[in-house]
Amino acid sequence: MSIPFQELLEFDVATLSGKLRARDISPVELTEAYLGRIEQTDGSLRAYITVTDTMARKAAKKAEAEIAAGKWRGPFHGVPIALKDLVYTSRVRTTGGSKILADFKPDYDATVWTRLKRAGAVLLGKLNQHEFAYGITSSNPHWGIVRNPYALDRIPGGSSGGSAAAIAARSAAATIGTDTGGSIRIPAALCGCVGLKPTWSRVSRYGVIPLAYTLDHVGPITRTVRDAAMMLQIIAGADRNDSTASRERVPDFSAGVGGQISGMRIGVIRELDYGLSDDVAHSFNAALETLRSLGATVDHVTIPSLPLAGLMNGIITAAEALEIHEEWMRTRPQDYGDDVRRLLEIGMMTPATSYLRAQRARARTLAESIAVLADRDVLVAPASAIVAPKIGTTQMLEAREDRVEVVAAILRFTQPFNTTGQPAIAIPTGLSPDGLPIAMQVIGRPFGESEVIRVAAAYESARGALPAAPEIA
Amino acid sequence: MPLVTSETVKQVMRDLYGYEISDADADAIAHSAGAMLTLAGHLPSIGLAGVEPPFGYPVLLAEAARLAKARS
């Protein structure tokens, strides 16, 4: 019980879990350490919308008593986590990052929170995000601009910007994000975290404010691949409250962590291996060399319709998001941030014919991807063409080609796997010379999270520790 | 590019949603929507003949069962 607070914050969940179970660490002390860290950093970061300190202390005391009594609930028992503010928490404000829901307190919990709470997790609070998850900057006009812990003048990515910033800043041990076009993987990539978007339907969406029903995914953002696997283990699986949640068997996602990848076949997606900034290209190529050095076979593959998968995603999101927001767009359009209102207005001009065509086209891209995966175990691609841009930047000059739109330079790497629903993990590959995180994605077959986790964990182990974000004043 | 005009955008906002937007905003939306519609027109080029939309009857049945259970 004498580990300094600062040291407690450095442990990943897997390490914490062992120490909590062995009672080398107290959940109460650990929770106090995290609450202190939030207080220290969040004035700068704005990663949190609501800090549930009273609730957290109560839950930590309960966890401590249970563990002392030998009633260990599993690896998240007593572990302080936080949830993106799209996730319903009973009687706790759930804003979706909006002004519209600024005072909304649900009367039930989302399934993901029900499962984490049952597993003994301690809720530190609700995390800031891009308004209603419709954007990738997390520059929130209502709850503050979320800042990247690696450089406070840069975006953390989004929409789950607070979820990633909190991990990088050590103000949560693990977090939950959501991903409709890249909103788990993008912030994870730009903040040097691990972000796992599972297969669509693998995790219940019950009680999660939707952006686009057929593209939304819920998943973990963590410090390590092992932690992501452990968190997914808790939240995955069928749910009687979500008829779209898959009944597919839930395997032991951690089984492949620490395993070999010698002999595995990895395809590099040709359609995503261009237009990278020099720093990203260098880091991605080095990561491919690392995978080869681990004994994997790495070659290029092609998915011809993949360049259109982002368009499919954009059309579907425009239509479904407007359906969700239509009443508020009639009654409270002035209460949206300008960028989100603009996107919803574009949805007003999206014909049903385009929507249905985009939905039908998804199967073509997924079929091509599955065909490629018939003789590959996983696919890989960069997670973004660029490092985190400065807040307010709309174009970047540093890509090899011409000036690129920031949104396009990021989303084109992530959106396709929302369109196909395949599992994809973002994992850091290093830092740029400016000290900004760079990441790649590992993509699997539908319900092939285990292979994705196995490859990502092997790479992570070979890569070594990523330098932590600078200390935040 | 399909002709989505700023006038059309303004009329949709006014008639269906009950608010007015500036000419500049309407222009920007018309441009974005027009580009999206143009690109959407290219989607059949990847081969969509006979491809069904991904809305299965099993989901409809499951959702109906869930709602019926919640009601009882």
Quick check: is A469 in a domain?
no
A159 is catalytic: yes
Q: Reduced to 3 states, what is the DSSP secondary structure of residue B54? A: coil
Tens of pLDDT, residue by residue over A274-326, are: 899 999 999 999 999 999 999 999 999 999 999 999 999 999 999 999 999 99
ipTM higher than threshold 0.85: yes
Quick check: is A85 in a domain?
yes
Which one of B9, B21, B39 has the shortest CB-CB distance to A311?
B39
Q: Which of A110, A141, A117, A143 is nearest to A128 (CA)?
A: A143
pLDDT tier for residue A401 given thresholds of 50, 70 and 90:
low
Mean pLDDT of A29-43: 98
Which residues make Cβ contacts (< 8 Å) with residue A72, sequence separation at least 6?
A21, A66
Which candidate in A241, A330, A336, A349 is best for mutational testing of the B interface (most B CBs within 10 A)? A349
CB-count exposure of residue B3 (10 Å: 0-12, 13-18, 19+): exposed
Which one of A241, A315, A363 has the shortest CB-CB distance to B51?
A363
Do residues A263 and A295 touch, judged by C-beta distance below 8 A? yes
Give dist(CA A223, CA A266) in Å, integer: 24
CATH number at residue A246: 3.90.1300.10
Over 90: is that where the pLDDT of A408 sits? no
Dmax of chain A from CA atoms?
64
Over 70: is that where the pLDDT of A113 sits? yes
pLDDT tier for residue B21 given thresholds of 50, 70 and 90:
very high
Question: Is A308 within 8 Å of chain B by CB?
Answer: yes
Q: At what angle do helices B23-40 and A338-348 cross, to 10 degrees?
A: 50
Predicted TM-score (pTM) of the model is 0.96
Which candidate in A320, A346, A356, A359 is best for mutational testing of the B interface (most B CBs within 10 A)? A346
The domain tally of chain A equals: 1
Beta bridge pairs of residue A219: A177
Give dist(CA B60, CA B66) in Å, integer: 10
Over 80: is that where the pLDDT of A454 sits? yes
Tens of pLDDT, residue by residue over A120-134, are: 999 999 999 999 999
Tens of pLDDT, residue by residue over A61-102, are: 999 999 999 999 999 999 999 999 999 999 999 999 999 999
pLDDT tier for residue A406 given thresholds of 50, 70 and 90:
confident
Chain A residues touching residue B42 (CB < 8 angstroms): 308
Give dist(CA A151, CA A162) in Å, integer: 14
CB–CB contact A349 B33 (8 Å): yes
pLDDT recorded at residue A169: 98
Beta bridge pairs of residue A139: A145
Tens of pLDDT, residue by residue over A351-394, are: 999 999 999 999 999 999 999 999 999 999 999 999 999 999 87
Tens of pLDDT, residue by residue over A229-286, are: 999 999 999 999 999 999 999 999 999 999 999 999 999 999 999 899 999 999 999 9
Over 80: is that where the pLDDT of A2 sits? no
For strand A297-301 and strand A144-145, is the pairing parallel, antiparallel, or unpaired?
unpaired
Give dist(CA A169, CA A223) in Å, integer: 11
pLDDT recorded at residue A396: 65
pLDDT tier for residue A4 given thresholds of 50, 70 and 90:
confident
Give dist(CA A24, CA A20) in Å, integer: 6
pLDDT recorded at residue A400: 53
Over 80: is that where the pLDDT of B72 sits? no
C-alpha A461, offset from chain centre: 20
Over 80: is that where the pLDDT of B71 sits? no
Q: What percent of chain A has pLDDT over 70?
A: 98
Sheet (strand A424-431) strand order: A48-51, A122-127, A80-84, A174-179, A217-222, A194-197, A424-431, A437-443, A378-382, A265-269, A297-301
pLDDT recorded at residue A405: 82
Over 90: is that where the pLDDT of A5 sits? no
Tens of pLDDT, residue by residue over A196-207, are: 999 999 999 999
What distance, in Å, lies between the first and last C-alpha atoms of chain B?
A: 52
CB-count exposure of residue A247 (10 Å: 0-12, 13-18, 19+): exposed
Quick check: is A468 in a domain?
no
Tens of pLDDT, residue by residue over A126-177, are: 999 999 999 999 999 999 999 999 999 999 999 999 999 999 999 999 999 9
Q: Reduced to 3 states, what is the DSSP secondary structure of residue A202? A: coil
CB–CB contact B12 A350 (8 Å): no
Do residues A196 and A228 touch, judged by C-beta distance below 8 A? yes
